[in-house]
A and B are shown apart, each in its own frame.
Chain A
Amino acid sequence: MTLSFFKSREGILGAAILALLLAISLRFPAFVAPSNLASVFNDTAPLIILTLGQMAVILTRCIDLSVAANLALTGMIVAMLNTMMPELPIPVILLIAITLGALMGLVNGLLVWKLNIPPIVVTLGTMTIYRGIIFLISDGAWINAHEMSSSFKAFPRDIVLGLPVLSWIAIIAVIGFVVLIGRTSLGRAFFAVGGNPHAAVYTGINVGRTQCAAFVLSGALAGLTGYLWVARYAVAYVDIAGGFELEVVAACVIGGISIAGGIGSVAGALMGALFLGIVKNALPVINISPFWQLAISGSAIIIAVAFNATSNRAKGRVILKEAEHAT
């Protein structure tokens, strides 16, 4: 059991993360202080939440490129609601954010399910549409720190049992996903649909509906993150989280979730996101030229993927041992 864990993708990734932390600590020892690691985790929380949603989508052989735009649009809407109705309680805002995000995910899902448009095309389109809508509703103006109510901004920062709420939400999302993926029929259906859609149909799974459900899930998490993001950085504008969808996909890929669908685990997604989060947080403190930073993040992704590809390669299996020697 232990040996197989170290040989598994998750085990290797875990070792890579530890090696990365060790290398960083040689240059900047304060980085591995527990308080700093907690803040790195907190900073990575939005990426973790989105990576989980993206994982569900990728498992079903789809991809959701609209998550960052969904996040930005939901963030802008809740920020505008907050400026108009500052007394709106936080649970209501959370509910609105999740619902809005889920609706935007549903749009993607329905287009993929009912119209059979390739997911990359659908989400590329909705990505631009959602960004465009932010511009329309905000007129390109920013919602700034002083326009948001203090309770709106404080929620993700509130410390509960030593960690900020933002971190707790990521932890809850991870636990939720472990249960969903491992213990529910929907979670198993994600794997079935991605692993072999034809076989899935024969087992009575509606492929389109499962994919749609994955998009709704991803959208709902993006919506939730939208509020958290805007509250954390205390600013909402058209371009927030620009390019973040690629980071989310990269985290999935690093975490060993197969772009071809059907393969992946919550632990992998979590570690993929953590790996990227650590790299992103370490680069500013280890004094590397900004021109190198992009190259380093990019190389990390490629190395991880190359590693996965080699370990993923299906080993041929001899099924008729006797026949081999028969002649």
Chain B
Amino acid sequence: MKLFKSLLAATAVAAVCIAGPAQAETKRIALVVKALGIGFFEAAAKGAEEAAKELGDVEIIYTGPTDTTAEGQIEVINALIAQKVDAIAISANDQDALVPALKKAMQRGITVVSWDSGVAPDGRQLHLNPSSNPLIGNMIIKLAADHLPDGGDVAVLSASATATNQNTWIEEMNKVKDNYPGINVVATVYGDDLADKSYREAQGLMQTYPDLKAIIAPTSVGIVAAAQAVSDAEKAGQINVTGLGLPSEMAGHIDSGASKSFAIWNPIDLGYSATMLAYNLAAGNAEAKPGAEIPMGRMGALKLDDNNEGAMADPFVYDSSNIDDFKDIF
């Protein structure tokens, strides 16, 4: 396995060495992903290619280890340093383990940005979050409100009662719920990210609140289980299941009408933005410092906070109009 990985890295080096020097002035930006062969990252690579086409003088090197390990990514980074790429945009398998390798890259003048899954501040110039907690909190209640012009009861189906990210999103949601008059959050229940428990909790919600109009599940297991429970209760159309989910997992429930829409970050936009940011930093068009706004093409600009982090955009909304384009991607 080790040998295989080294071989793979070596092949990548060789491939780029052959292809590289042909156009000396093009910027070579490496998009390093958690592992190759994951739909989400393939889609991000598509976005990166889109950015490259828009910029014109950019060559994208899409690479990553064969499995999601920090060791594999370090080998890939070392190979990229040897190739003298202009920028590395990485979705990290480990927040800290990659820092030394990425520091070395930065010392050699390579621009390093992290996206999706971040690296500690020492190991990168900036981090691109797909979204932010307030944006997600707002989005999940907006998804429910958009289909309830007259208001109504909604309930939240979360993962476990101790899941930090879920609790943060629900907290952010509760902060902005007054902006959606008529929307009444009646309960928060916990499905522990188990299909059967989530299904049962969704059934319980339907029994306890006969006037329930929507279930918000900001978890990919919960949203699928709740949608199935709603279909089985023959309440598709009456109760809208929404929240955060993956298009491949939700396609059937969009078709059945149990879910009218849901959201998740768009990997294409993410790859596109990461490439734009890496390009602008590498070309010296912008500098990564707290408070800076760095342009990222059609996605606007990234505003950096004190940790040099920024949020790309609202989660992207998927519904019957676009689900077929994305369900095979991730």
A interface with B by C-beta (< 8 Å): 28, 30-31, 36, 39, 43, 142, 144-147, 157, 229, 233-235, 237, 239-244, 280-281, 283-285, 287, 290-291
Contacts and interface: CB of A to CB of B under 8 A. Distances in A.
B126 to A, nearest CB: 30
Contacts of B249: 142, 144, 235
B324 to A, nearest CB: 10
Given A43-B200, A234-B228, A284 B189 contact: yes
Nearest to B232: A157
B252 interface: yes
A284 B195 contact: no
Contacts of A285: 204, 207-208
Contacts of B225: 233, 235
A325 B216 CA distance: 76
A284 B252 contact: no
Given A145-B252, A284-B201, A284-B203, A233 B208 contact: no
Contacts of A281: 200, 203-204
Contacts, number: 75
Interface of B: 161, 187, 189-190, 193-197, 199-201, 203-205, 207-208, 224-225, 227-228, 232, 248-253, 255-256, 327
Given A146-B255, A235-B224, 20 more contacts: A28-B207, A39-B203, A43-B200, A144-B250, A144-B252, A145-B227, A145-B251, A145-B256, A146-B327, A157-B232, A233-B196, A233-B225, A240-B196, A242-B194, A244-B196, A284-B189, A284-B201, A284-B203, A284-B208, A287-B208
Chief secondary structure at chain A's binding surface = helix
Contacts of B228: 145, 233-235
Given A142-B249, A146-B252, A291 B161 contact: yes
B326 to A, nearest CB: 13
Contacts of A244: 196
20 contacts: A30-B207, A39-B203, A144-B251, A145-B228, A145-B252, A146-B255, A157-B232, A229-B196, A233-B196, A234-B224, A234-B228, A235-B195, A237-B195, A239-B194, A240-B195, A281-B200, A281-B204, A283-B204, A284-B189, A290-B190
B196, B201, B232, B255 — most chain A CB neighbours (10 Å): B196
B232 A290 contact: no
A234 B201 CA distance: 16
Contacts of B255: 146
A157 B225 CA distance: 15
Contact of A144 (B190, B197, B207, B248): B248
A285 to B, nearest CB: 5
B200 A233 contact: no
B64 to A, nearest CB: 15
A280 B201 CA distance: 9
Contact of A28 (B194, B201, B208, B327): B208
Contact of B252 (A229, A234, A283): A234
Contacts of B187: 287
Contacts of A157: 232
Contacts of B189: 284, 290
Contacts of B251: 144-146
Contacts of B227: 145
A237, A283, A284 — most chain B CB neighbours (10 Å): A284
Contacts of A284: 189, 200-201, 203-205, 208
Contacts of A146: 251-252, 255, 327
Contacts of A239: 193-194
A31 B208 CA distance: 10
A28 B190 CA distance: 19
A147 B255 CA distance: 12
